[in-house]
């Protein structure tokens, strides 16, 4: 692509009647962006906007399977929401979501940050290291759940075998999925394993955009490595970190596949997260109204977290 000399540019522009140029530009300005935006926005509004509104509506009704097919559901006000907080299983699932989800976000961010810093060092073997950390990302969540479930298998799993060989005899036939806490340890490792690559690579990209001069200037001013990290790197990465934390929270609080597959054997379903509980109520038990209410509560929780993060980052302008 070539840049024309100034004289030619001027000639071209002035050869058209200014009024027409203005009119054509006005039309261009309005129609083109609208035409380009329309398909995407239609899909998002139709597939996310409309169902969301419908789910919120369902959460105020007593809709079950019959009502869903034949109609005739009744408005029950806040009854479903009262039940979400009164029912022990559903209440526990909300607490599980927040506690376990937060742990996953923290674990992912910490490991992701360390790996990004390592990748940013120009070390030998970095390319291989990069490919190694890329691979878990390629494994679909459901396959990852199956793989880790096998590694944590009570009788034939590698983890128990390894621990016993290291001298922890208590892990002979240890059943990780027999109760909530140990099941969560296994699922936590699975989730972090899968999600740290994305965080690491995104932060690496961020690190590479930090001008070397800035860091050198800080070094000249006498800042040690830790101070340079805290005072220069971290503030510059803040917008990326904030968005990654938001995305991770959204993903980890909604976690489904891993819990559904790995925590299926935990007694009383006490390890269910809100997403799994909502699915069970809605589909397995056909309590669509109640299931929707669980989902709406989860959405409100996520929105609240997102708002807090945006506040912490400061200006929303850094996001959009």
Partner 1 sequence: MRWLLKRGWMYLAMIAVSTFALFPVYWVVITSLKPRSEIYTRTPDLWPSDPQWDQYPRVLGEGHVGRALLNSLIVASGTMVICLLVSAGAAYVLARYRARITRILLILVLMTQMFPLVVLVIPLFVTMRKAGLLGTYWSLIITYLAFSVPLAIWVMRGFVLSIPDELEHAARIDGATRIGAMWRVVLPLAAPGLAVTAVLSFLEGWKEFLLALTFINDEDRKTVPLVLQSFVGRGDTDWGAVMATSVLYTLPVAIVFVLARKHLMTARTAGAVKG
Residue among 257, 266, 272, 313 that touches partner 1 (CB under 8 A): 257
Residue among 202, 248, 263, 313 that touches partner 1 (CB under 8 A): 202
β-bridge mates for residue 75, sequence order: 61
Q: What is the closest distance, in whole angstroms, from the C-beta atom of residue 182 to partner 1 in the complex?
A: 18
Interface with partner 1, residue 83, by CB under 8 A: no
Interface with partner 1, residue 211, by CB under 8 A: no
What would the x/- binding string for partner 1 be over residues 297 to 316, using CB under 8 A?
A: -xx--xx--x---------x
- Give one word for 269, left, alpha or beta, with left for phi > 0 and alpha for psi -120 to 50: left
Closer Cβ to partner 1, 180 or 252, answer by number: 252
Report the distance separating Cα 14 and Cα 272, nearest Å: 69
| Range list of H helices, the chain | 6-14, 18-44, 50-58, 65-70, 79-86, 88-120, 126-138, 141-151, 158-165, 180-208, 212-220, 225-228, 234-253, 257-262, 274-279, 288-313
- Phi and psi at residue 32, to the nearest 5°: -60, -55
Half-sphere exposure of 81 (CA within 13 A, CB side): 13
Q: What is the closest distance, in whole angstroms, from the C-beta atom of residue 109 to partner 1 in the complex?
A: 14
Interface with partner 1, residue 39, by CB under 8 A: yes
Residue among 102, 229, 240, 270 that touches partner 1 (CB under 8 A): 240
Closer Cβ to partner 1, 178 or 303, answer by number: 303
**Residues in 92-111 at the binding interface with partner 1, rule: CB under 8 A:** 111
Judge contact between 108 and 196, C-beta under 8 A.
Answer: yes
Interface with partner 1, residue 271, by CB under 8 A: no
First to last CA, the chain: 31
Interface with partner 1, residue 4, by CB under 8 A: yes
**146-181 CB burial, b ≥16 within 10 A, e <16:** bebbebbbeeebebbeebeeeeeeebeebebbeebe
Q: What is the closest distance, in whole angstroms, from the C-beta atom of residue 226 to partner 1 in the complex?
A: 13
Residue among 109, 144, 259, 271 that touches partner 1 (CB under 8 A): 144
Directed axis angle between helix 288-313 and helix 234-253, to 10°? 180
Interface with partner 1, residue 156, by CB under 8 A: yes
Residue among 84, 105, 141, 232 that touches partner 1 (CB under 8 A): 141
Q: What is the closest distance, in whole angstroms, from the C-beta atom of residue 275 to partner 1 in the complex?
A: 5
Interface with partner 1, residue 11, by CB under 8 A: no
Interface with partner 1, residue 15, by CB under 8 A: no
Residue among 14, 208, 216, 227 that touches partner 1 (CB under 8 A): 208
Judge contact between 120 and 212, C-beta under 8 A.
Answer: no
Report the distance separating Cα 217 and Cα 121, nearest Å: 19
Interface with partner 1, residue 30, by CB under 8 A: no
Q: What is the closest distance, in whole angstroms, from the C-beta atom of residue 26 to partner 1 in the complex?
A: 13
Interface with partner 1, residue 239, by CB under 8 A: yes
**Contact range with partner 1 by CB under 8 A, out of 40-48, 82-90, 175-183, 210-218:** 40-48
Closer Cβ to partner 1, 148 or 176, answer by number: 148
Judge contact between 206 and 239, C-beta under 8 A.
Answer: no
Interface with partner 1, residue 161, by CB under 8 A: yes
Cα separations in angstroms, 170 against 134, 147, 165, 185, 237:
34, 23, 11, 16, 44
Interface with partner 1, residue 176, by CB under 8 A: no
Q: What is the closest distance, in whole angstroms, from the C-beta atom of residue 319 to partner 1 in the complex?
A: 7
**Structure-token match 């503030």, residue found:** 235
């Amino acid at each position: 692509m070539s840049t024309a000399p100034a004289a030619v540019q001027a000639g071209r522009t002035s050869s058209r009647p200014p009024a027409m140029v203005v009119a054509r530009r006005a039309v261009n300005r309005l129609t083109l962006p609208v035409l380009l935006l329309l398909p995407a926005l239609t899909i998002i509004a139709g597939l996310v906007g409309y169902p969301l509104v419908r789910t919120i509506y369902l959460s105020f009704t007593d809709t079950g399977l019959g009502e869903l097919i034949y109609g005739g559901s009744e408005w029950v006000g806040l009854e479903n929401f009262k039940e979400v907080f009164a029912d022990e299983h559903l209440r526990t699932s909300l607490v599980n979501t927040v506690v376990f989800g937060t742990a996953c976000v923290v674990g992912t961010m910490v490991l992701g940050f360390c790996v990004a810093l390592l990748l940013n060092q120009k070390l030998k073997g970095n390319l291989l290291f990069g490919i190694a950390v890329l691979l878990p990302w390629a494994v679909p969540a459901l396959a990852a759940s199956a793989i880790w479930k096998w590694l944590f298998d009570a009788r034939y799993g590698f983890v128990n075998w390894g621990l016993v060989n290291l001298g922890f005899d208590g892990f002979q036939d240890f059943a990780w999925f027999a109760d909530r806490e140990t099941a969560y340890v296994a699922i936590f490792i699975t989730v972090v394993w899968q999600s740290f690559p994305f965080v690491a690579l995104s932060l690496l990209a961020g690190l590479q955009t930090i001008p070397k001069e800035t860091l050198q200037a800080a070094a000249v001013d006498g800042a040690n490595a830790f101070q340079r990290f805290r005072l220069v790197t971290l503030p510059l990465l803040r917008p990326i970190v904030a968005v990654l934390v938001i995305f991770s929270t959204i993903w980890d609080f909604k976690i489904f596949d891993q819990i559904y597959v790995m925590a299926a054997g935990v007694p009383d379903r006490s390890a269910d997260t809100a997403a799994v509980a909502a699915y069970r109520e809605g589909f397995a038990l056909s309590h669509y109204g109640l299931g929707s209410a669980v989902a709406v509560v989860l959405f409100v929780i996520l929105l609240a977290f997102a708002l807090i993060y945006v506040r912490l980052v400061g200006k929303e302008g850094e996001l959009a």
